[in-house]
Structure 1
Amino acid sequence: MKILINQLLNELKIITENSIDFAKSLLYQNNDTLNFRTSEDSWSILECLEHLNFYGQFYLPEIENRIKKSQFSATKSDFKSGLLGNYFANMMLPKEKLNKMKTLKISNPIHKQLNKSVIEEFINQQNKMLELLEKAKVVDLEKTKTLISISKLIKLKLGDTFRFVIYHNLRHVKQAENILNNI
């Protein structure tokens, strides 16, 4: 995949802003709604966001650190995705009928006692993401690499990491929207 960097960052910014707007709307819901699950083994709205908060705790500091330490200034107008990064990012995009994926046990929040602080943390993390998208404009999104949460052996281009994390957020925000619409 090849895309103009400004276009990519703008698209990711819009997705993130929409996620913030949705999360803010959840602050007006009651706890029964936020903790409702369609079945015993499905996630509630708060569990969807808690799952994203778990990954945000890894990726936001990782992205910020890599941007700060990057020795590669932005010089190109295009971003060319890596093979693995593009695969991971596209895998996260929500489909018409949300395809189920196995979640690592450590990042599975099912049946945790959660409250609206989960929403507040999610909003704070998404605001941090917007800040990082802005900061990323001055570094090379291809040469600057980040670690991934599941392996210390694999590094992705910063642009692919942004895509992966934000598409993953989008996926679970859509899941939470579906839960809310089916109550």
Structure 2
Amino acid sequence: MNLPNKLTILRVILIPFFVFFLISPFFDGYGNYIALAIFIIASLTDMADGKIARKYNLVTNFGKFMDPLADKLLVCSAMICLVDLKLIPVWVVLIIIAREFIISGFRLVASDNGIVIAASYWGKFKTTFQMLMVIVIIFNINLQLGWLNILGTILIYVALVLTVVSLIDYIAKNKDVLKDQK
């Protein structure tokens, strides 16, 4: 297993620790910061694995499949926790998660037909904004700064719009996957 794939697996392994520290009542306000550090590290592995894979020609089908899945698990876990903490509207998270299920379904159909679909530019852009949104919201949990609340809200809606745009782009580019079934 190459380094980019190990970084992807590390991202998945970090998720339960992130969730534990974010929603655990045992750390008297500091758990948020530990969770934030874990989330940032996990997010940076996303950037690093892709750069390393492309630079050293280590792109694999496993990476093309697992990298976006690891991102979805990380970001969706974070957003579900933020819903539980009443920091993000549930309807926003439902739309974002629905998009992820639709894309995963497309990938499964493509995979059954021997096609591996890598993440698109819009999908990467969407993930970046979702990660930024989570970082800003978690960072502001204890601070409660007005301008960070506004920035967090703006990032929620930018991430939502990018989620819908990336879904439309993905379906438009890959609609033939549904037509060309075995």
Does TM, scored on the shorter chain, surpass 0.5? no
Give the alignment's TM-score, normalised by structure 1: 0.38
Bigger relative contact order, structure 1 or 2, given CA contacts below 8 A and separation 6+?
Answer: 1
Structure with more of its chain in strand, by fraction? 1
Give the alignment's TM-score, normalised by structure 2: 0.38
